[in-house]
């Protein structure tokens, strides 16, 4: 099984951004909801096509996408 078997990228769908299982639900949308303190139950209620593993893979994919990359951060 692939590490990210629930993440799909289709250049003809959603501008080619990573989505979940071919749905028009971008990984970034789910990560943003988690960042906004939405619970798994709330996300699944609002996106009934998703499964708990979709949320976990979205977060893992996002973590991998930013690993060892420099992001512009404001000095503290």
For residue 25, give the CATH number of its domain.
1.10.10.10
DSSP type of residue 16:
G
CB atoms within 10 A of CB 36: 8
Cβ(36)–Cβ(29) below 8 Å: no
Task: Assess if residue 49 is contained within a domain.
Answer: yes
User: Minimum mean pLDDT among 9-13, 35-39, 59-63, 71-75: which range?
Assistant: 71-75
Does the pLDDT of residue 76 top 90, yes or no? no
Task: Assess if residue 45 is contained within a domain.
Answer: yes
Task: Assess if residue 70 is contained within a domain.
Answer: no
**Model pLDDT for residues 48-73, shown as the tens digit of each residue:** 999 999 999 999 999 988 886 766 66
Does the pLDDT of residue 6 top 80, yes or no? yes
Task: Assess if residue 72 is contained within a domain.
Answer: no
Task: Assess if residue 11 is contained within a domain.
Answer: yes
- Alpha carbon 65 to its chain's center: 10
Using DSSP's 3-state secondary structure scheme, residue 14 falls into: helix
Q: What is the mean pLDDT of residues 38-50?
A: 98
- Please count the structural domains in the chain: 1
Range of the domain at 12: 7-64
């Amino acid at each position: 099984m692939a590490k990210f078997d629930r993440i799909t990228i289709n250049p003809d769908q959603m501008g080619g951004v990573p989505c979940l299982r071919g749905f028009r639900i971008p990984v970034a949308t789910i990560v943003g909801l988690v960042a906004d303190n939405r619970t798994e139950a709330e996300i699944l209620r609002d996106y009934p096509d998703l499964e708990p593993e979709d949320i976990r893979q979205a977060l893992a994919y996002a973590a991998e996408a930013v690993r060892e990359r420099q992001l512009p951060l404001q000095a503290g």
